[in-house]
């Protein structure tokens, strides 16, 4: 059975080992100084994604200690076309990015160097993402519509001091713009949604995962999900959860079944028969990073989700053409 962490406590015990489980809030306290692994093994990132039925905008500030990244990407899901691709690789950043230690408390994360300005502000249930990079300017406001989220703290079988502390927040409405030279793209609040993928941890050099996250409108209500597998020891917690009408509904383990090609349909099912989704991909947003020891590749597949999901009370939701993504990542970092 999965373990829900309901009482406040540390992410790591006094020996630097993770206290495994999941929660729906920032119940555990992340303390970078409590990590017992070498400093070059620490990984931290804040990743935001804003999307509607056509456009997807992504912001990243993060590091793997010996290499880091600040990036902004905008692309057209329907056309399968990159509109903006701005990326700065940071060599040996270690702790210089000053990443926040909590995903929900008020904080400001800023990168301001070499003509690149990117800032993530968190204030109560709202967030403001700002970026100025050459001729490009972006400003997005996010507002949480569900008090619950998904937080996991996972160990790894490879060694005792490895852990993955991750907080994913979706069901956020989004509004704002991106401007570049004489072009402008807008995200309207009634049709745009945002997610936060906030990760901290130490894990083995080689790793692989599957992840899917989405938010959309269903029967006039906001519906969302977070699904994943393949990463860490999930005996005590998985990252699989549904959101509907402001409430969360926890799922158990989920399988991702792929065809021969990434653009073939994906099938996502759980072990208890509460989830059966098919992703029909439209666009393969592939990213590859090679720098020093880093060698990462991720296929993030955008398309339509159709199928069913069953809530805790037995209510069956029929999912019809919600546009979102599922990804497969293989990393050495």
Contact 28, 5 (CB under 8 A): yes
Per-residue confidence (pLDDT) for residue 296, from 0 to 100: 87
Contact 253, 241 (CB under 8 A): no
Averaged pLDDT, 167-193: 97
Q: What is the pTM of this model?
A: 0.97
Q: How far apart are CA 256 and CA 269, in angstroms?
A: 7
**What backbone phi and psi angles, to 5 degrees, belong to 226?**
-135, 130
Averaged pLDDT, 39-45: 94
pLDDT band at 66 (very low <50, low <70, confident <90, very high): confident
Averaged pLDDT, 224-252: 97
Per-residue confidence (pLDDT) for residue 273, from 0 to 100: 97
Q: Which residue has the tokens 């992504």?
A: 58
Per-residue confidence (pLDDT) for residue 265, from 0 to 100: 98
Tell me the pLDDT tens digit for each residue of 120-170. Answer: 999 998 999 999 999 999 999 999 999 999 999 999 999 999 999 999 999
Tell me the pLDDT of the chain averaged across its residues: 96
Per-residue confidence (pLDDT) for residue 293, from 0 to 100: 72
Tell me the pLDDT tens digit for each residue of 91-131. Answer: 889 889 999 999 999 999 999 999 999 999 999 989 999 99
Is residue 303 classed as helix, strand or coil in its secondary structure? strand
pLDDT band at 64 (very low <50, low <70, confident <90, very high): confident
Q: How far is CA 140 from CA 67, 179, 185, 200, 295, in A?
A: 27, 12, 11, 24, 31
Per-residue confidence (pLDDT) for residue 94, from 0 to 100: 87
Tell me the pLDDT tens digit for each residue of 277-329. Answer: 999 999 999 998 887 677 889 999 999 999 999 999 999 999 999 999 999 99
């Amino acid at each position: 059975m999965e373990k829900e962490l309901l009482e406040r406590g540390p992410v790591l015990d006094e020996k630097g080992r993770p206290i495994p489980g999941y929660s729906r809030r920032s119940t555990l306290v992340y303390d970078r100084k409590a990590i017992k692994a070498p400093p070059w093994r620490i990984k931290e990132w804040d990743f935001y994604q804003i999307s509607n039925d056509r456009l997807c905008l992504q912001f990243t500030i993060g590091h793997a200690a010996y290499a880091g990244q600040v990036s902004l990407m905008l692309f057209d899901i329907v056309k399968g076309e990159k509109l903006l691709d701005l990326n700065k690789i940071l060599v040996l950043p270690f702790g210089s990015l000053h990443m926040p230690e909590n995903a929900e408390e008020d904080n400001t994360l800023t990168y301001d160097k070499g003509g690149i300005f990117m800032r993530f502000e968190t204030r109560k249930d709202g967030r403001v993402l700002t970026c100025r990079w050459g001729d490009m300017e972006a400003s997005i406001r996010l507002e949480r519509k569900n008090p619950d989220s998904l937080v996991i703290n996972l160990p790894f079988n490879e060694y005792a001091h490895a852990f993955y502390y991750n907080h994913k927040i979706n069901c956020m409405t989004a509004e704002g713009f991106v401007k570049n030279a004489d072009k402008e793209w807008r995200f309207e609040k009634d049709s745009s949604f945002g997610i936060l993928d906030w990760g901290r941890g130490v894990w083995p050099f080689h790793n692989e995962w599957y992840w899917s996250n989405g938010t959309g409108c269903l029967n006039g209500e906001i519906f969302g999900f977070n699904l994943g597998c393949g990463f860490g020891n999930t005996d005590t917690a998985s990252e699989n959860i549904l959101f509907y009408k402001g409430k969360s509904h926890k799922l158990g383990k989920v399988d991702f079944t792929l065809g021969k090609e990434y653009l073939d349909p994906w099938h996502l099912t759980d072990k208890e028969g509460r989830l059966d989704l098919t992703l029909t991909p439209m666009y393969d947003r592939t990213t590859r990073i090679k720098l020093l020891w880093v060698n990462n590749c991720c296929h993030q597949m955008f398309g339509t989700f159709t199928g069913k999901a069953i809530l805790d009370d037995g209510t069956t939701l029929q999912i019809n053409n919600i546009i979102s993504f599922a990804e497969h990542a293989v990393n050495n970092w």
